[in-house]
């Protein structure tokens, strides 16, 4: 077979992390342009979060502080619909409860499902068309029904369905990427899933940022790894991963953004320590988290497709794949 006819290599995704599954639900007609994405980790996964945007829409993020009682996370929900869309987390919790996932309490379980929302209200033409618990349940069921390691559909899907970038000038979307560590830690994978709904645009050296005219934006990401991390280490990884967001977009972390990154550690594999500098593998992991977020954001922009609704037209970002993407 000639080289130009070889099957392209599989896109690296957050599901390269063993045990991580992703599900989507979306609506695109009759005034709708929004959706929900769910990241479903295996039981016992440690989670944390770092919120950097000045206008976040979040649910249960306080529960992810390393000083709180419960360190595990049962699912993460990313949703459209701004604060209204956080109702989708209830549907994800319902699925988790039905399947026995959650913090054990007398009489049952309480699922820990942190969530974050982007602002896409009205982009389909109907301001009241926003995700609800039923859509969250649908996305959770889709994640649970997927096979381990399955590809992740990208672009105008899930929480990326109604996403926009450049202060509402261009279509944003959902992207993903994964990176494997090096040397003795080549068994460790760090993946990211990003929903790109930014005030900014892909960063190019020397270029000026886009004025945040619309003023209601957010980029969300979930970082996942099979490494064993404490809740405090997961928190620091989420913090470090924001560097990838800053490398990908300009502006970022503004007062009008709700930029949020969750970290999930399945704690299946152990980082092999460096003989001279024990912290080196953890630093490499956190650096990889930032790069995975950067690549996932650029992938989300590159995979987004133009849409036209009664609200208006959102064209693709010029020249397709942004500079510096995969």
Pairing of strands 115-117, 76-79: parallel
Q: Token pair for residue 120?
A: 């896409």
Does 157 reside within a domain? Answer: yes
Does 138 reside within a domain? Answer: yes
Confirm if 96 and 113 have CB atoms less than 8 A apart.
Answer: yes
Q: How much is the pTM? A: 0.92
Q: What are phi and psi of 176, to 5 degrees?
A: -155, 160
Mean pLDDT within 134-139: 98
pLDDT tier for residue 212 given thresholds of 50, 70 and 90? low
Mean pLDDT within 283-305: 97
- Please determine, for residue 216, whether its predicted confidence score (pLDDT) is greater than 80: no
What is d(CA 7, CA 82) in angstroms, rounded to the nearest whole number?
A: 40
Confirm if 292 and 177 have CB atoms less than 8 A apart.
Answer: yes
- Please determine, for residue 63, whether its predicted confidence score (pLDDT) is greater than 70: yes
Report DSSP letters for 90-136, one per residue. Answer: HHHHHHHHHTT-SEEETTEEE----EEE---TTTTS-TT----HHHH
Does 266 reside within a domain? Answer: yes
Contacts 24+ apart (CB under 8 A), 205-211: 207/250, 209/250, 209/251, 210/166, 210/167, 210/169, 210/251, 211/167
**Cβ neighbours for 157, distance < 8 A, ≥ 6 positions apart:** 24, 26, 35, 37, 173, 174
pLDDT tier for residue 211 given thresholds of 50, 70 and 90? low
Please state at what angle helix 280-303 crosses helix 231-248, rounded to 10 degrees.
40
Per-residue confidence (pLDDT) for residue 128, from 0 to 100: 97
What is d(CA 102, CA 260) in angstroms, rounded to the nearest whole number?
A: 23
Q: Token pair for residue 27?
A: 């609506």
Does 319 reside within a domain? Answer: no
Per-residue confidence (pLDDT) for residue 5, from 0 to 100: 40
**Cβ neighbours for 171, distance < 8 A, ≥ 6 positions apart:** 156, 163, 164, 165, 304, 305, 306, 307, 314, 315, 316, 317
Confirm if 37 and 78 have CB atoms less than 8 A apart.
Answer: yes
Which position has the token pair 């595990």? 72
Mean pLDDT within 70-93: 97
Does 149 reside within a domain? Answer: yes
Burial of 126 (0-12, 13-18, 19+ CB in 10 A): middle
pLDDT digits (tens, 9 = 90+) for 102-126: 999 999 999 999 999 999 999 999 9
Confirm if 298 and 322 have CB atoms less than 8 A apart.
Answer: yes
Apex CA 37: angle with CA 311 and CA 122, to 5°?
15
pLDDT tier for residue 206 given thresholds of 50, 70 and 90? low
Which position has the token pair 């609506």? 27
The CATH number assigned to the domain holding 223 equals 3.60.70.12
Give the Å distances, CA to CA, from 113 to 51, 53, 97: 16, 20, 11
pLDDT tier for residue 214 given thresholds of 50, 70 and 90? low
pLDDT digits (tens, 9 = 90+) for 20-60: 999 999 999 999 999 999 999 999 999 999 999 888 999 99
Q: What are phi and psi of 317, to 5 degrees?
A: -60, 140
Does 192 reside within a domain? Answer: yes
Does 260 reside within a domain? Answer: yes
Does 61 reside within a domain? Answer: yes
**Cβ neighbours for 233, distance < 8 A, ≥ 6 positions apart:** 265, 282
Per-residue confidence (pLDDT) for residue 257, from 0 to 100: 86
Mean pLDDT within 186-211: 86
pLDDT > 90 in the chain, percent? 81
- Please determine, for residue 167, whether its predicted confidence score (pLDDT) is greater than 50: yes
Q: What's the total number of domains in the chain? A: 1
Domain that holds residue 283: 9-314
pLDDT digits (tens, 9 = 90+) for 228-274: 999 999 999 999 999 999 999 998 998 888 899 999 999 999 998 88
Type and span of the H or E element at 178: strand 174-180
Of the candidate ranges 186-190, 251-255, 293-297, the one whose mean pLDDT is the lowest: 251-255
């Amino acid at each position: 077979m000639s080289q130009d006819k070889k099957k392209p290599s599989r896109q690296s995704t957050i599901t390269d992390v063993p045990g991580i599954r992703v599900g989507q639900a979306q609506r695109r007609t009759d005034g709708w342009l929004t959706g929900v994405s769910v990241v479903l980790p295996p039981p016992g996964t440690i989670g944390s979060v770092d919120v950097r945007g000045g206008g976040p829409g979040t649910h249960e993020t306080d529960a992810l502080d390393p000083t709180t009682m419960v360190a595990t996370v049962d699912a993460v929900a990313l949703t459209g619909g701004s604060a209204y869309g956080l109702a989708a987390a209830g549907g994800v919790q319902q699925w988790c409860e039905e399947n026995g996932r959650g913090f054990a309490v007398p009489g049952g379980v309480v699922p820990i499902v942190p969530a974050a929302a982007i602002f896409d209200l009205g982009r389909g033409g109907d301001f009241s068309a926003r995700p609800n618990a039923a859509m969250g349940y649908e996305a959770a069921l889709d994640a649970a029904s997927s096979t381990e390691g399955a590809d992740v559909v990208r672009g105008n899907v899930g929480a990326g369905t109604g996403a926009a970038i450049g202060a509402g000038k261009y279509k944003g979307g959902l992207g993903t990427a994964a990176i494997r560590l090096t040397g003795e830690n080549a068994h460790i994978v760090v993946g990211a899933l990003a929903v790109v709904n930014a005030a900014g645009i892909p960063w190019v050296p020397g270029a000026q940022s886009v004025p945040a005219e619309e003023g209601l934006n957010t980029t969300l990401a979930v970082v996942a790894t099979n490494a064993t991390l404490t809740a405090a280490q997961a928190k620091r990884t989420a913090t470090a991963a924001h560097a990838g967001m800053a490398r990908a977009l300009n502006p970022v972390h503004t007062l009008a953004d709700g930029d949020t990154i969750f970290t999930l550690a399945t704690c299946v594999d152990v980082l092999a320590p460096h003989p001279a500098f024990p912290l080196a593998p953890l630093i490499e992991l956190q650096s990889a988290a930032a790069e995975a977020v950067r690549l996932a954001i650029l992938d989300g922009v590159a995979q987004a497709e133009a849409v036209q609704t009664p609200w208006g037209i959102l064209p693709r970002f010029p020249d397709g794949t942004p500079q510096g993407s995969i």
